[in-house]
Amino acid sequence: MNVPPRWVRLPLSLVLLAALAVAATTLPLLVVVAAVIGICFLLKSKMEASFTTKQSSYKAYEMSRLAGLDIEKQVASQREHVTRWQSQLAQETASQLRIAFRGTFRTMQRAFLELETRMPQLQLQELKIDPSSTQSSLLNIQVNYTAWEN
């Protein structure tokens, strides 16, 4: 006849008591291990987030640095043109031209069209439009131009 092993024959209360005794000694160890694993996981996720942030900041810095180098290269290649432009600008002279007239809005448009068509070297500096105090349909117009001459 087969005899079951001895532990099978122990009463259930003794088996439960033994399991509780083993759990009581290993439970604090399990809690400590779980806490250590949790802390490690938290530190790892913070380090990954920090690394990702630093990596994106570095990429942005590197792109800005390369863009700055490109701009410096363009400025260096344009230096000869700038000196030529400055010498040409020094040769040119400019005079101020002030015009004042009274008319309707349509008259003003036609006058500006005619003036700027005949004198394309004019650069508008100031334009003042006020209603006429004597007639409501007329406007007082004052214009300041800079006339560039070679």
Boundaries of every domain in the chain = 1-91, 93-149
Q: Token match 């031209």: residue?
A: 97
pLDDT of 55-64, one tens digit each? 999 999 999 9
* Dihedral of the alpha carbons of 7, 13, 17, 22, in degrees to the nearest 10: 40
Residue 12 pLDDT more than 60?
no
Share of the chain above pLDDT 90, in %: 39
pLDDT of 103-140, one tens digit each? 998 998 999 999 989 988 899 999 999 998 888 889 99
Q: Is the pTM of this model over 0.75?
A: no
Sign of torsion over alpha carbons 58, 59, 62, 64: negative
Cα gap 123→49, rounded to integer Å:
57
**pLDDT at position 141:** 93
**pLDDT at position 69:** 94
Q: Residue 9 to residues 2, 46, 85: CA-CA distances in angstroms?
A: 13, 53, 108
pLDDT-derived band at 70 (thresholds 50, 70, 90) equals very high
Cα gap 10→17, rounded to integer Å:
11
